[in-house]
Structures are given as structure tokens and as C-alpha cells.
Structure 1
Amino acid sequence: MLLGAAGLSLPVPRLYAAPSEGYSGRLLVTLQCDGAWDVTSFCDPKSNQPGEKEITQWSRSDDIQTAGNIQYAPFANNQSFFDNYYQDMLVINGVDMQTNSHTTGVLHNWSGRNTEGYPTITAMFAANNAPEQPLSYLNFGGYSQTANLIRYSRLNGGAGLDFLLDPAYLFGRTPLSTEVNLTNIREFRKNKTQEMMSDATLMNRQKGNLQAYNLALSGQDNLKKFLDYVPDDNELEGGITLANKRFSDLRDQVRFAAAAFQ
């Protein structure tokens, strides 16, 4: 019911200028781990049964392990992971996705519904806890429906981020324009946007996009503070190649998420 109600609550995305006091609430991080993880070798372990087809190779010689009251498979680095973090975990197994389709399964997993248009838990959390922050919902890919509760900021690495956050400068060089010129440019942009918004022929979606654009610009100065926390290039690992030639920059994503939270 929570997901269904949230999907109908706001017709226009909320995006405001950042308040000067910042944010001191909680941080919600979700990981969309595609690729059909074998949960029987992670936190829903299954042992082979006599007379039945083999389920797992590890249970030929090992038994299911526990950390606290959480069961896990004695596989890969599971023991170290669960022994270190089980006290901070809640494991939920056996969620019925109402489908055997991968695409629909992703939809149900992140929105709670098998139909389009419902928001992720991340969107609801951001809209409820930090609707006025410019980076309240960072997205690095995957399912990201917001149901117009809020807008997300998409990051694909840090290339060009300095210029985006402080466009008056280009990669640390001399300012592109004098402060007087920049003030004139901003004033012209503001007036032009207001003129466009007064057009009676605009569709609601067009007007909403213009409003979001205008409000985003009003919080630009506060957004520059993000530059103080953005990892330096030498702190980033870039993409790393995993098993089966899979590519991942998850560690850098975590660094950017932590920087935005700070």
C-alpha cells in the first residue's frame, strides 16, 4: 500500500534550492545487483539431499554456516563478510516476484509492482527526507523510476564534474568571463525562462521542466560545496574487470555517494 500510495501523491517533481543548513538525516543506499546471483551460495544456502539432484557444489563437503542467527553458505569470502557485519544485517529470503521474467522481476523488485509508473524506495526516501537538497537522489544506472516525486541526478564517473558544478571556470583555468558578464548572463537566462513559462500554449510537462530547470539554477551556489568532497582523480579506481569479463565501477560509485552525503 505504501508504494501504491506514493506513486499517486505528487503530479509535479519536487526540486528546490538547497537550504543553507544542509542535511543531517540518514543515508539510504541501494545496490541493484543484476546477473542472477545464486543465493544458494550466499545468504539462502541449500544443502544437497540424498536421492535428489545436486543443488550446490560446496555442500558436497561443507555444512551451512551461521553468523548470529543468519545462515550463509561456506563459499568464497562469505565467512569474513558475515562474521564482520551480521550484527548490522537483516536478511529477507523468499520474496515472491510474481513472475519468471527477468525484466518484470527487476520492475517488481524495485517498485513493488509489476506495472510501470511506481517509484523506487530510494525516490520515496529522498522525497520524504531531503526534497530540497540538490543531490538527494544520486543514480548510477539501473531502475530509477520516481513517479514524479523527485528528480534524480545521474552520475557516470567524475569526468567534467568540476566544470558542471562551477561552470564559471574551466578545469582550473582563468575564469571564462568577468563577474559582471556572468551576472548579465544569469539575469538574461532568468528573464528568458520566465518569458517562456508565461507562454499559455505550453503543455504541463514543458512548464514543469522549465520550473525544475529554474529552481535547479537557484541552488547552484550551494551545489558548489560538493566540489569540496568530490574524490580526486588519484582516489578513484575507475572500472575494474570482474569474473566473466564483467565491468564494474561500484567502488567509485560508493565514493561519490559518500561525498554527496557529506
Structure 2
Amino acid sequence: MDRRNFFKLMSLAGLAAVSPTVFAGRRPGAIKNPNLPPLAETYSGPLWVFLNAGGGWDPTSLCDPKGGKGPDDPEAMNRAFTFDQIEAAGNIKYPNIGTMESPTAYQDFFQKHYKRLRVINGLDMQTNGHDSGSRHCWSGRLAEGYPSLAALIAAVHGHALPMSYLSFGGFDDTQGQVARTRSGNTAALARIAYPDRANPEDENSLFHSPVANDLIRKAQEARKERLLATEQLPRVQNAISNLYASRTGSNELKKLQQYLPDELDNGPNPLRRQIQVALAAFRAGITISINLDIGGFDTHGNHDESHIPRLVQILDGLDFLWTEAEMQGIGDNFVVLCGSDFGRTPGYNDTNGKDHHSITSLMMMGKGIGGNKVIGGSDERHGAYSWDPKTLQQSESGIHIEPRHVHANLRRLARIDGHDLMKQFPIAIEKGDEMDLLA
């Protein structure tokens, strides 16, 4: 399958791939893993999962709870729960609320997972705009021009893989550093995985005989080797390898098909289906980072009725991720970060909604993330406190925690902070302002 048809089939299947501008440098961290299918070079993990709550979530109704005195409290930060409904799981506070279908959803999640969960509260996004907030959250930079952290991780650890960066939405700019695959129709992956079949479900409906297919594959491999032998520049060699990966990617997508469940979850929570695809792609050895996405958080009206059920879906999705990963033998070989554009305003507007507010929270779990920890915080009206960068103790002469501090830590955790690519996209932190948020 040539490169043009590869991208064409992805488009028809509800997928989109962005061709990378290749950068020089070898692919570190690519080692064989006996727990995954035997590829020539298999990324050993972790899988990086970025869960985007699109629209601006309300952490005061989640991991930085601010209640009210009762239904008649005119200054209530939240009417869905009172101060005495705020409980704690270890060091992490949460409101003991839920939905009619899952009345104990919050309690069930936090009591089950608090030992794995790290929360950063009082995170200053420095904006209340959707595009800028989402970009700041996931790239570490407020202004345009930076790729998402997910894209950087995929570029360093697996830029030649056909689906190293899989996205269901949210901020997924790559700045041309890696191919991005956007998924809109997971059931249509079979057509990409089996482009040599007239009917993807029928293994006998081949366009070519097995002998002809084998000759095509050998000719492609031989041509790649000839081209590599005549080129000395690493940039050109990487471009040749990427072209070959695009032409042969369908073979690896067949592995994805093998790991997908017979039926994807058809329940009301879209995160479950996205997670099933993410884990299958990681186990198949073709995906390193993934954007999960769930919207509906821009609740300018009827905040409680609309917002809390979406937060419950996030908690359900995170629990589902851990459950599925353990069942499939992945254990904790993943990192998941859950964030949003910004937060919601203190109190309610005239339509019982909440508007845009620049202070928010970030939740993280997984490999290398110490749990049962809360860093930062906010006052009773959800204003950000200042912190001493060295001690992380509250200080009037300190600074706000910003996405750049978070991203500097995550780059180290992902083992990409020393890569040449980071010189193109540096994190702007002055000496003395560094924060160790993962200690």
C-alpha cells in the first residue's frame, strides 16, 4: 500500500494522520518487551494518557471542593453539596456526591484510588479562553507554536510508528514533529488494517495472491535498504524510514485489530471506548501516547445538572482504565493526566451556571506518580495561593503554580527533557523558580 492510499484510507475510516517534519536523532527507549507482540523495536512503556475535560471543568466540585452552607446560601460556591459533605480519602478531599444512577460515585472512586492519585490545586492558567487554556494545559505554553506534550513524547520515543500518537480530541498540535492519528470511527480500523481485502471481514477476498503480496513486501523492503545505503544524512534516512512505516503500517494495524475486544463498550460513557482502543494500540506496540477527550463542561447555565454527571463520567473512565489495564496484564505501565482549559467562576450566574475562571486543578496517576498527595491549593473563593518554589510551602513572596512547572516535571518523567528536540520547544522557567511537583 503506497503512502497516498494509506492516508486516503485513514480519512475514509474517520481517521486523520498528519505527516511529520522529521528531526534528526535516534529513537531512545525502544527495547524489546516480552509482554508485547514481537516487533523489531517495541516501546516498553509507559503508555501516556492525556484525558481532556473540554470546555473548562469545575475542580471546586471535584478535587478542590468548596461547598455551601445550604440551599439558601447566596454566596455558596456550590449548591450541589454543603461543607459537611466534604470528606477525605487519605490526604485528598472530595465532595461525597454523585448522580441518581451512581449516588456514591465520588466516594467509590476516591476511596479506591487515592493512594494512586496526585492532585495539583490552584493551578494558574493565566487565561479564561478555551483555545489558549487548552493549549496552555497540554503544551505548557500559553502562546501558540508548541506541540502537545503527548506529541513530544511520541516524537522522541516512536516517531516512525504508524500510530504513535492517537487522538480522540483536545489540543493535539504536533508542529510537524510526529504523525498524529485522529480517530472518529474505531470500527472502521479493519479497512485500514486489511487494505488488500475487498471485504475486510473476509480473509479470502484478496486483491492479490499471497505470492504477489509477498513479492510486493520484499520489493518495498529492498527499495528502502537501497535508499538508506545511498544516503548519509540522518534527516534523510529518517524520512526514508518514515515513508516505509507509512507504506507498511497496515501490518501493525492488524495487530491492533487482534487486541481490540470483539465489541467495544456501547454504554453512555465515551471514555470507555476510547480507553479500549488506547490499551489495544499500546499492547499491539504501535501507540505511545493518546488523547482521550470528553466535552460538555462549558456550563454557563444549569451548572450542577450538567456538570456533575460529566465529572462522574471522568471518574468512571479513570476507574475503567485501571481495571482494564490490570485485566490485560499492563498493570500500572501507564501515566494518565486529567485536566481542562481552566476552571469555573466562584458561585453562580443568573442562569444557575458558572462562567470561565483561570484557576483550575490537574489530577495525575500511574507509573512514577506518587499518590495520596495534594500540591498547591486555593482560597475559599478559588483564588490561587502563592508557593515557595523550593519548599512548596505557602508564601506571600512565592509564585503561582503554572502549567510550565508541571510540564518541566513531566518531561523529566517521560525521559525526554535531555533530547535535542526540547531545545526547539524549551520550558521557560527562570533559575530559582523550579518546582519539584513529583517528589
TM range (shorter): 0.7 to 0.9
1:106 matches 2:113: no
Alignment CA distance shift 1:107-1:261 (3 Å): same
Q: CA deviation at 1:141?
A: 1.7
- Report what 1:196 is aligned to: none
- On the 8 A contact 2:147/2:172 being kept in 1, the answer is yes
Separation in structure 1 between the aligned mates of residue 126 and residue 83 of structure 2, nearest angstrom: 35
Q: Percent identity?
A: 36
Of 205, 209, 219 in structure 2, the residue corresponding to residue 178 of structure 1 is: 209
- On the 8 A contact 1:157/1:253 being kept in 2, the answer is no
1:164 matches 2:192: yes
- Report what 2:79 is aligned to: 57
Instruction: Map Cα deviations across residues 153-210 of structure 1 (whole Å, 9 max, x no partner).
Output: 22223222122112112223221222344467668989999xxxxxxxxxxxxxx988
- On the 8 A contact 1:19/1:132 being kept in 2, the answer is no
Of 238, 253, 258 in structure 2, the residue corresponding to residue 228 of structure 1 is: 258
Deviates more, 1:127-136 or 1:86-95: 127-136
- On the 8 A contact 2:139/2:147 being kept in 1, the answer is yes
1:75 matches 2:97: yes
Separation in structure 1 between the aligned mates of residue 216 and residue 157 of structure 2, nearest angstrom: 34
- Report what 2:387 is aligned to: none
Alignment CA distance shift 1:184-1:86 (3 Å): same
1:216 matches 2:246: yes
Instruction: Map Cα deviations across residues 92-134 of structure 1 (whole Å, 9 max, x no partner).
Output: 1111111121221111111111222211111122223333433
- On the 8 A contact 2:259/2:280 being kept in 1, the answer is yes
Separation in structure 1 between the aligned mates of residue 244 and residue 158 of structure 2, nearest angstrom: 19
5+ long unaligned stretches in structure 1: 1-9, 194-207, 241-247
Separation in structure 2 between the aligned mates of residue 251 and residue 62 of structure 1, nearest angstrom: 32
Separation in structure 2 between the aligned mates of residue 31 and residue 13 of structure 1, nearest angstrom: 27
Q: CA deviation at 1:89?
A: 0.6
Of 251, 254, 258 in structure 1, the residue corresponding to residue 272 of structure 2 is: 251
- Report what 1:96 is aligned to: 124
- Report what 1:84 is aligned to: 112
- On the 8 A contact 1:22/1:133 being kept in 2, the answer is no
Q: CA deviation at 1:49?
A: 6.7
How many pairs does the alignment contain?
232
Instruction: Map Cα deviations across residues 224-261 of structure 1 (whole Å, 9 max, x no partner).
Output: 322221222xx213473xxxxxxx52211100000011
Q: Looking at both structures, which has the greater relative contact order when contacts are Cα pairs under 8 Å and sequence separation is at least 6?
A: 2
Separation in structure 1 between the aligned mates of residue 152 and residue 66 of structure 2, nearest angstrom: 35
Task: Give the letter for the 1:24 counterpart.
Answer: S
Separation in structure 2 between the aligned mates of residue 155 and residue 19 of structure 1, nearest angstrom: 23
- Report what 1:31 is aligned to: 51
Any idea what SS the aligned residue of 1:62 has? Answer: helix
- On the 8 A contact 2:192/2:253 being kept in 1, the answer is no
Separation in structure 2 between the aligned mates of residue 239 and residue 151 of structure 1, nearest angstrom: 30
5+ long unaligned stretches in structure 2: 1-19, 28-37, 99-104, 225-237, 284-439
- On the 8 A contact 2:21/2:176 being kept in 1, the answer is yes
1:153 matches 2:184: no
**TM-score normalized by structure 1?**
0.73
Deviates more, 1:156-165 or 1:101-110: 156-165
Deviates more, 1:121-130 or 1:75-84: 121-130
Of 142, 145, 152 in structure 2, the residue corresponding to residue 124 of structure 1 is: 152
Separation in structure 2 between the aligned mates of residue 121 and residue 61 of structure 1, nearest angstrom: 37
CA RMSD in angstroms comes to 3.6
Separation in structure 2 between the aligned mates of residue 141 and residue 159 of structure 1, nearest angstrom: 17
Alignment CA distance shift 1:178-1:23 (3 Å): same
1:260 matches 2:281: yes
